[in-house]
Structures are given as C-alpha cells and as structure tokens.
Amino acid sequence: MLKKKNNRYSIFIKLMLLFLVFILLANFSIGFILSRIIGKGPPQGSPERFPVPVQKYIISRIGDPPDTNLARRVSDELQVNFRIESSGISWTNDESIPDIPRLREEKDFRSDGQNFIVRLRGRPIIVNKTDDGYIIFSPFMPRDLINETNVVIAVVLIITILAVMLYLALSWIFGPIKKLSEGVEMISEGNFDNTIIVNRKDELGNLAASINEMKENISSMIKSKESLLIDVSHELRSPLTRIKLANEFIDDPKIHNKIRDDVKEMELMITELLETYRMDHEQGKFSIEKADIVKLIKDVISKFEFKDIQFSSQFAEKEIFIDRRKIETVFRNIIDNAVKYSEGRTVAVDIYERDENRDSVFVSVKDKGRGIEEEELGKIFEPFYRIDKSRDKKIRGYGLGLSLVKKILEGHNAEIEVKSRKNEGTEFIVTFKKGITNK
C-alpha cells in the first residue's frame, strides 16, 4: 500500500506565498515609480504656497495696468505660474491655468470677492481681483510633476510583467495536471503500460503516485481475471472431450442430443472466450486479403440449419480487403443471434451500396423477433451482457459473441450500427470502407 507522503511543499502554501509576493511586488513597484516622480519636489525657489504678501508683491511688480514683459520677468525669477485677465490684456505662462469664463462656471467663484480660491477638479486656483481685471495664480502641487500618461504606461507595464510572472508561476505549480489528465485518459482507454512521472513533493505528486498505484492494482486484477478465464477455458476442453466420447455410448436419443447440444454450447463459449482474449492481446494481427464479401456471407448462411434466411445482394460479387476467417466469425455471430431471436420468423441478409456513399459496402442482417429495449442497445456489445435475463435455453449465448464482433470490426476500421423496435425486430448494419483496413 502506498504510504502517504509528507507535503513538504503544499500547493496551498505555494499559492499563498505566490500571491503575497505578487502583492508586495505590485505595491513596491508602483510606489517606487510614484516616489521617484513626486520625490523630485518642486523646482528650487518656487513656493508651494501663495501667502497674501507674495501675491501683493507680484501684483505690485507687474504694475497696473499689468505689463506683460514685467510679468514674464517675475514669473521667471520666482518660477511662479499665473494668468493676467484685464482690459485689453490676456497673458499667461501656463496654458493649463483656466480663464475667468471657465472659473465662473464653478460654484466657488465669487463675483464680489477680492481674493478667493476656486477649486477646479480638486485643484486650488487663487483669484485676485484688480481695478480692471483679474490675476489668477496656480499654486504648485506635487502632482504637477507627474506625467499622467507616463504613469499609466508604467503601471500597465508593471502589472503586465507581474501578470506574466504570475501566469508562469501558476503554470509551474499546476503543470503536472496535464500529465495527470493524459495518464488518466490512457488508463481509461485500457493502456496500463504508461507511468505518470511527477517529481513533486506536494499534493499533485501524491496524486500521481496514487494514480500509478491504482493503475498497477487494476492491471494486476485484470490480468488475474484473464489468466483465470483462459486457464479455466483450456482446462475445460479435456473433460468436454471425455463427455463427448462418453455420450456416443448413450443409447437414449433424447439424452444423447441434449448432452451433445450442451457440449456444443460450452465449446462455443470457450472458443469465443479464447478468441476475445486473442483479440485483446494481438491487436492488429490480421491476415488481410482481398475477398469476395458476397461469397463469404453465402458460405456462412449455408452452414445454418435454419433455412428461412433470405439473402439478397446488389452485386454478383464485391471484393474488399478483410481477414476472411475473422469476418466469417462476425457474420456467423450476427446471423446466429438473428436466428435465435427471430423465433422462427424470416431473417433477411442484404448487401448493398448507397448512392450518397459509394466508398462503402453495407451488410444488413434483419430479423422480425422480439426486438431490443432502447436502454439496452448501448450495452449489447459488452462482454457477458445478455439481453435475455431469464437465461432461456432456447436462446443460447453467453454475451461474448457481439463483444467479439465489435473488436474484429474495429480492427478492420469497419462500423456496426443497431436499429431495433420492441416486438418488431432488430437490424444490424455493418459498414466496410472500401480498401481501408488495419493491417
């Protein structure tokens, strides 16, 4: 039994650490960029506030009416941004400072005020009213140094890089899931030779080890079951031979015939069982040759004691590539089932092509028996599945025939379709693709 490994590196812990690192990196990166930009501070000599004496000093320096040349010189000396709006004069050293018509739209604007502040989108704008106009100051704010476009680009770039790193980290953490999925899919298809290799000391590593152990256990159980069936099948041949020999000395015809039929039934079961085993373990080993399917089916029909089998064919002969012996087994089983379940009614066998599909040959076997329930149609190809749960001795068969039929047809790239209606009968349609088969 597999010992449960200690999860030294739990996936939960990995995810917690990963998201913690991601958050720290995101905050650090964005904070670093903003601090580098804002941390530069205002230009040397540019006041962050505009006390009233400073405003009065600037207003007195530029004169009344304002002289734009003096205004330019003062703004350069003090590195102050302002706008002059007066009769006949409109000047500014910063086009971002709003004019009076724009400021009048704000609720903070006071037409009768001499010195007041208007907040425009959270930014304080200082308005000084003069005799013939206004002088508008825009105080320096740290965010003035921020180029919003560059900040957005930087933040988006950082988030993108971190997202890619997060994706790569998550891909590494959950990477084994793909291997696990592929391994489980192969197991579901009956391939027990593949081993899932996940060199991890976490839950996924434990899961891979558990799946490998489960696969080995299932494979061992299947092999044990197959070995038992094959051994029993071989061992039964000798006593059956002795029974057949002893039966020849029984004088009572009724008892003799009953024993003979039972022995034949057991021999058929053993033959089908061994053939099914060979199909499972010798996949692809077919003796493919060109054969006349019309003649082959006629030969199969001729071996039945039941004579009410109506045969029809669209062609006098039709050659396709098949394993003659195995395809004989296919139609012997299908026709035998049709005869058993027809309850004495006619069985129709037809070979034809379809106008819309000239690349295929179709063989139909149709009876007028009791039919098959819709919920059972998908199960009839399972080994040992019987439609007749009562085990009626009049309807022999041990559920191996149709399973063997499907395996043989799959080896020929052929298809089989079943149509059935309760109390109206069942039709098996086998489709051979011309010139295509597994060799």
Same domain, 92 and 226: no
What pLDDT sits at residue 397? 47
What is the rounded CA–CA span in Å between residue 362 and residue 351?
A: 6
Question: Domain limits at 234?
Answer: 176-282
Domain boundary among 232, 262, 282: 282
In a domain, 439, yes or no: no
Cα separation values, 11 from 18, 59, 367, 389, 428, Å: 10, 69, 60, 51, 53
pLDDT tens track for 363-403 = 999 998 888 888 888 788 887 676 655 545 555 444 567 88
In a domain, 291, yes or no: yes
Contact 317, 299 (CB under 8 A): no
Q: Look at residue 241 and tell me whether its pLDDT is greater than 90.
A: no
In a domain, 170, yes or no: yes
Same domain, 94 and 170: no
Same domain, 273 and 312: no
Q: What is the mean pLDDT of residues 410-439?
A: 83
| Better-predicted residue by pLDDT, 420 or 6 | 420
pLDDT-wise least confident of 142-146, 155-159, 163-167, 205-209:
142-146
Is the pTM higher than 0.85? The answer reads no
Which of the four pLDDT bands, split at 50, 70 and 90, describes residue 291? very high
Same domain, 389 and 305: yes
Number of domains into which the chain is organized: 4
pLDDT tens track for 351-363 = 999 887 778 999 9
Contacting residues for 151 by C-beta, under 8 A, at least 6 apart: 33, 34, 37
Same domain, 167 and 184: no
SS3 420: strand
Backbone angles phi, psi at 210, to 5 degrees: -65, -40
Q: What is the mean pLDDT of residues 11-30?
A: 78
Same domain, 160 and 121: no
Domain boundary among 174, 198, 232: 174
Domain boundary among 282, 301, 323: 282
Backbone angles phi, psi at 428, to 5 degrees: -105, 125
**Average pLDDT taken over every residue of the chain:** 80
Same domain, 304 and 343: yes
What is the rounded CA–CA span in Å between residue 264 and residue 238?
A: 14
pLDDT-wise least confident of 135-144, 268-277, 319-328:
135-144
Contact 302, 332 (CB under 8 A): no
pLDDT tens track for 142-154 = 555 556 677 777 7
Highest-pLDDT range among 191-205, 303-317, 394-408: 303-317
SS3 letters across 81-143: CEEEEECCEEEECCCCCCCHHHHCCCCCCCCCCCEEEEEECCEEEEEEEECCEEEEECCCCHH
Question: Residue 183: which region, alpha, beta or left (left: phi > 0; alpha: psi -120 to 50)?
Answer: alpha
DSSP category for residue 145: G
DSSP category for residue 374: G
What pLDDT sits at residue 341? 84
Q: Look at residue 348 and tell me whether its pLDDT is greater than 90.
A: yes
Same domain, 408 and 299: yes
Which pair of tokens denotes residue 149?
A: 């476009």
